[in-house]
A and B are shown apart, each in its own frame.
Chain A
Amino acid sequence: MCLGVPGEITEIDGSEAIADFWGVERRVRIDVVGDSVEVGDYILNHAGFAIRKIPEREVEETMAIYESLFGDDPDEALDEIGADDDADIDIGRGRPQTTAPGGDAGEQDDD
């Protein structure tokens, strides 16, 4: 029902901010994000409003859970919900990267 896109806050001016969405920028309102937001934080954008601050730790942990499913006994994998923060995380892409001139797309977030 609701198209939500994660972005990284790059500038804040009162209740307005600029967010970077994989290399393109758009302003987002941060008055109903429900959390304190700083430059460098990730947010979930819906229709020009940040509706959630996305804790980066959660992104990593979720991916670790998915990857921990590999080849494991499924029932056992289900118990691994708290899993392994240090799991090696690959970036899978739906499309090949045809990086724009001057762009640095595809660079991995090394935080």
Chain B
Amino acid sequence: MSDEQSQGDTDGDVVTVAHGSGSGRTRDFLDERVVPRFDGDGDLPVGLSALDDGAVHNIGDQSVVVTTDSHVVSPLSFPGGDIGRLAVAGTVNDLAVMGATEPLSLTCSLVVEAGTPVDLLDAILDSMERTCEAAGCAITTGDTKVMGSGEVDGVVINTTGVGLVPTGEHVPDAGLSPGDKLVLSGPVGDHGITLLAEREGFDIEGDLESDVAPVNDIVAAALDAGQVTAMKDPTRGGFATAVNEMVRKAEVGATLDEPAIPVRDPVASTGELLGIDPLDVANEGKVLFGVASEDADSVLDAIREVPGGEEAALVGEVTDENRGRVVLDTGFGQRYLSEPEGEQLPRIC
């Protein structure tokens, strides 16, 4: 990145919400301030500088995948889930998209604001328990801290996950090659749009639900059915950010067929109302796969067999042209699909 870009990190000398948006500003922050400080690559097949969903260590004939995520969400409970479900699914999914579909161990570190009702905490922990059952994993260690009132907003949950794959069989997010097909496991935008609709004052009522769910079964089915070359779960920054990151890291291009990208009607409608593109907002239970061309149909069929994968779709193709860029065929004409910058806000214009 150029010098000019580095200005962005320091202007105002404070961290802003944009630094945590998951897009360019976050990447710059990590590249400039975090990655260079640690020798995080060593002889790892996937280390810190890859900025992938997790790290991969080779130990004997196994690869150990490690990932960590701190979960914050407002409100703590929302249609379709809560912070507990998010905290388990988020980490299970980060392991899964590295290829580790059977989590070995999950940690849970709770930071709770004094004054939080015990009933609320119980509900969150119940939700974590149910999500662990669904994902076939267990919490094996953890930590609890209580902060003073106002020192933390409600509840923050960090989970770390460890999983195993046979050596060399992990799937990086940088593995796309020209000719690969892009397969999406289901409709996008549900989580981000649902939370926006819930925000005080926006008050949009409809059949909106977060998609937060473990996707390890879907990933396992895909890996069994064919050659998956790259995977990513399109969380913060949405589908648009995920697909751009994948093509940038692999130094390839991609062409997407916009009408083929599934978006549920209430999500599309809320997006129209607020002026926000569902492709730009978070998902918490979806996977974008790069698949070897000849295996695309079998992988797609396999995903559709798994609950939660029924609406999987073939959405595009990796190209040699337009390296580092994603071209969207809108059905009318063509344009680039770029990454959203920062927090998505409703617009009047």
A and B touch in the complex (CB under 8 A): yes
Instruction: Show the binding face of A for B, using Cβ within 8 Å.
Output: 1-3, 5, 21-27, 45-47, 93-103, 105-106
Q: Whole-angstrom distance from the CB of A91 to the nearest CB of chain B?
A: 12
Give the number of residues in B that approach A within 8 Å (Cβ atoms): 30
18 more A-B contacts (CB under 8 A) besides A3-B347, A22-B268, A24-B205? Answer: A1-B349, A3-B348, A21-B273, A22-B266, A22-B272, A24-B207, A26-B203, A26-B204, A27-B203, A47-B348, A93-B259, A94-B330, A95-B263, A98-B264, A99-B265, A100-B207, A100-B266, A103-B265
B258 an interface residue at 8 Å Cβ cutoff?
Answer: yes
Given contacts A23-B207, A25-B204, A103-B207, contact A98 B273 (CB under 8 A): no
Determine whether the beta carbon of B205 is less than 8 Å from that of A106.
no
Determine whether the beta carbon of A2 is less than 8 Å from that of B348.
yes
Q: B260's closest neighbor in chain A, by CB? A: A96
Q: Whole-angstrom distance from the CB of B269 to the nearest CB of chain A?
A: 4
A-B pairs under 8 A by CB, number:
80
Which 10 pairs between the two chains have the least Cβ-Cβ distance? A24-B206, A105-B265, A22-B269, A25-B205, A100-B207, A47-B348, A98-B262, A24-B269, A3-B275, A26-B204
Determine whether the beta carbon of A105 is less than 8 Å from that of B266.
yes
B65 an interface residue at 8 Å Cβ cutoff?
Answer: no
Given contacts A25-B205, A46-B348, contact A5 B265 (CB under 8 A): no
Q: A1's closest neighbor in chain B, by CB? A: B349
Q: A7's closest neighbor in chain B, by CB? A: B273
B83 an interface residue at 8 Å Cβ cutoff?
Answer: no
Tell me which residues across on chain A come within 8 A of B197, comparing CB atoms: 24
Determine whether the beta carbon of A25 is less than 8 Å from that of B206.
yes
**Can you give 15 contacting A-B residue pairs, CB < 8 Å?**
A2-B348, A3-B349, A5-B273, A22-B272, A23-B266, A24-B197, A25-B204, A25-B206, A26-B204, A93-B259, A94-B259, A96-B259, A99-B265, A100-B266, A106-B265
Instruction: Show the binding face of B for A, using Cβ within 8 Å.
Output: 187, 197, 203-208, 258-266, 268-270, 272-273, 275, 311, 313, 330-331, 347-349
Choose one: B261, B273, B275, B330; the contact of A24 (CB below 8 Å): B273
Q: How far is the CA of A51 from the CA of B197 in the complex (A)?
A: 22
Determine whether the beta carbon of B205 is less than 8 Å from that of A98.
no
Choose one: B203, B266, B311, B313; the contact of A103 (CB below 8 Å): B266
Q: How far is the CA of A45 from the CA of B270 in the complex (A)?
A: 13
Q: How far is the CA of A93 from the CA of B263 in the complex (A)?
A: 12
Q: Whole-angstrom distance from the CB of A26 to the nearest CB of chain B?
A: 5
Q: How far is the CA of A45 from the CA of B272 in the complex (A)?
A: 11
Given contacts A21-B272, A24-B270, contact A98 B349 (CB under 8 A): no
Tell me which residues across on chain A come within 8 A of B273, comparing CB atoms: 5, 21, 24, 26, 45
Choose one: A5, A94, A98, A101; the contact of B331 (CB below 8 Å): A94
